Amino acid sequence: MKLSARLAALAGSSALVLGALAGAAPATAAPAGATAAPDISVANVKQHLTDLSTIASNNGGNRAHGRPGYKASIDFVKAKLDAVGFTTSVQQFTYSGTTGYNLIADWPGGDPNQVIMAGSHLDSVTSGPGMNDNGSGSAAILEAALTVARSGYQPTKHLRFGWWGAEELGLVGSKYYVNNLPTAERAKIKGYLNFDMIGSPNPGYFVYDDDPAIEQTFKGFFSGIGVPTEIETEGDGRSDHASFKNVGIPVGGLFTGASRVKSSAQVSKWGGTATAFDRCYHSSCDTLSNINDTALDRNSDAIAHAIWNLSGTSTPPTGKVFENTADVSIPDNGAAVTSSVTVSGVTGNAPSNLSVGVDIVHTYKGDLVVDLIAPDGSVYNLHNRSGGGTDNIQQTYTVNASSEVANGAWKLRAQDKAGADTGYINGFKLTFP
């Protein structure tokens, strides 16, 4: 059953209340009160790792900054995301005379003023293919992103993913991204989650202790599966989360250890041996055989848990909310229908970030044209037949309605322009921030 986030706005309620995600039972129990995220297929994560390993083998044995294997890695990840509907962009930068690349991927929808971002560096060192460092993090967030698309997840907050270049040379790519992000855009990022080495062969389970809410989200997941964790103490400044933390963005992340030696107490806690967490750190032996599948699986599921729980909730709108939850049937391949709300008590014009909550239940969103109609008849197109056979349109749009007088009758208009699939308007909500 397809997962779908439901705008379960209660009639008359001024708060945007999200129902829990309905759908596939998670492979692991979510902590009480948490949203159950889908299980991440570790087989799929391993397949992405195998593909990255092949890229390294075909390009001189590594995926390092400035080498062909790195750009081939970027192209590989980008193609996967483009194929499932992400909005991707490749950001170029120059370091030590060679071109570097960051890949940014946005999942359409969600509140653009509240962004949850997950990132991993995609580059390796020159000595090897970099499977644990950091194919593991890159492959895990790639599979998390593909699972978002596959499940049709429509979070309240906006989801963004990043794959960084030249981390091994000093967090170069992530610093470039943050430094070139306007201050107003930085402020929208409510959390950055970093995953760098999450499949170490002799693993520990370390959680970054930066932002308390993010830390607790990860800790809650691991306690839910009975795996003890420790705070990552050497992390400060050691990976791309530092670039975000340095500009005041809340950060968190996971780590399974590098060249440091696992203590006997940690062996008692996690198993393994009192040797390095990853004896192949920055070495040619950081290959596919240098991955612990259980650690990779647990951390991949922890990533999904954090993404779903940090993006599926929203601080209720503080402004005025106008809502119509009456069902309006949409005739198959027929005339347009409308659901309307009458706005009153709002002085002046509507805002440039008018929040338009659309909840349409339909079996083929590609049939639909959906518009917002202002009181004076101005038309703002929200959806124009994209999405193919995916079910439902359940998302929040942000419309620049600043040229419209706020008070009056606003309409949500829907028209089905192709045969065979049917549906109805389930809810229409305007929020004036």
Where in the sequence numbering do the catalytic residues fall?
167
Closest to Zn ion by CB, 196 vs 232, is 196
Report residue 279: phi and psi, to 5°. -70, -10
With the C-alpha atoms ordered 160, 80, 146, 111, is the resulting torsion angle positive or negative?
positive
Q: Which residue has the tokens 């005379």?
A: 97
Q: What would you report as the CA-atom Rg of the chain, rounded to the nearest whole angstrom? A: 23
Binding mask 101-140 for ligand DTR (x = CB under 6 A): --------------------------------xx------
Question: Would you count residue 196 as binding Zn ion (CB under 5 A)?
Answer: yes
Structure tokens at 405: 């007088």
Among 106, 111, 143, 167, which residue interacts with ligand DTR (rule: CB under 6 A)?
A: 167
Tell me how far, at minimum, the Cβ of 241 lies from Zn ion, in Å: 11
Give the count of residues interacting with ligand DTR (CB under 6 A): 13
Give the count of residues interacting with Zn ion (CB under 5 A): 4
Stretch that binds Zn ion, among 66-74, 164-172, 338-346, 401-409 (CB under 5 A): 164-172
Residue 240 binding partner per list ligand DTR, Zn ion, none, with a CB distance cut-off of 5 to 8 Å that depends on partner kind: none
Residue 258 binding partner per list Zn ion, ligand DTR, none, with a CB distance cut-off of 5 to 8 Å that depends on partner kind: ligand DTR
Torsion of CA 58, 60, 65, 66, to 10 degrees: -100
Tell me how far, at minimum, the Cβ of 284 lies from ligand DTR, in Å: 15
163 contacts: CB under 8 Å, gap ≥ 6: 74, 77, 102, 103, 119, 120, 121, 122, 138, 141
Closest to ligand DTR by CB, 167 vs 359, is 167
Residue 232 binding partner per list Zn ion, ligand DTR, none, with a CB distance cut-off of 5 to 8 Å that depends on partner kind: ligand DTR
Looking at residues 181 to 240 of the shown chain, list those that interact with ligand DTR (rule: CB under 6 A). 196-197, 232, 234-235, 238-239
Closest to ligand DTR by CB, 100 vs 357, is 100
Tell me how far, at minimum, the Cβ of 306 lies from Zn ion, in Å: 19
Tell me how far, at minimum, the Cβ of 257 lies from ligand DTR, in Å: 8
Report residue 179: phi and psi, to 5°. -65, -25
Question: Would you count residue 133 as binding Zn ion (CB under 5 A)?
Answer: yes
SS3 39: coil
| Spatial distance between the Cα atoms of 323 and 301, rounded to a whole number of angstroms | 36
Tell me how far, at minimum, the Cβ of 16 lies from ligand DTR, in Å: 35
Closest to Zn ion by CB, 3 vs 52, is 52
Looking at residues 251 to 290 of the shown chain, list those that interact with ligand DTR (rule: CB under 6 A). 255, 258
249 contacts: CB under 8 Å, gap ≥ 6: 178, 186, 189, 191, 192
Among 102, 120, 134, 243, which residue interacts with Zn ion (rule: CB under 5 A)?
A: 134
Closest to ligand DTR by CB, 277 vs 397, is 277
Tell me how far, at minimum, the Cβ of 128 lies from ligand DTR, in Å: 12
364 contacts: CB under 8 Å, gap ≥ 6: 388, 389, 390, 391, 418, 420, 421
Closest to ligand DTR by CB, 234 vs 327, is 234
Question: Would you count residue 416 as binding Zn ion (CB under 5 A)?
Answer: no
Stretch that binds Zn ion, among 2-10, 18-26, 29-37, 133-141 (CB under 5 A): 133-141
364: how many CB neighbours lie within 10 A of its CB?
21
Residue 176 CA, chain-centre distance (Å), reads 20
| Spatial distance between the Cα atoms of 295 and 287, rounded to a whole number of angstroms | 16
Q: How many CA atoms lie within 13 A of 315 on its CB side?
A: 7
Closest to ligand DTR by CB, 130 vs 152, is 130
Tell me how far, at minimum, the Cβ of 124 lies from ligand DTR, in Å: 9
> DSSP label at 42?
H
Q: For residue 299, is the peptide bond before it cis, meaning its omega torsion is within 30 degrees of 0?
A: no
Question: E-strand spans in 181-275?
Answer: 189-195, 206-208, 230-232, 251-255
Residues lying near ligand DTR in the complex (CB under 6 A) are found at: 133-134, 167-168, 196-197, 232, 234-235, 238-239, 255, 258
Residue ranges that bind Zn ion, judged by CB under 5 A: 133-134, 168, 196
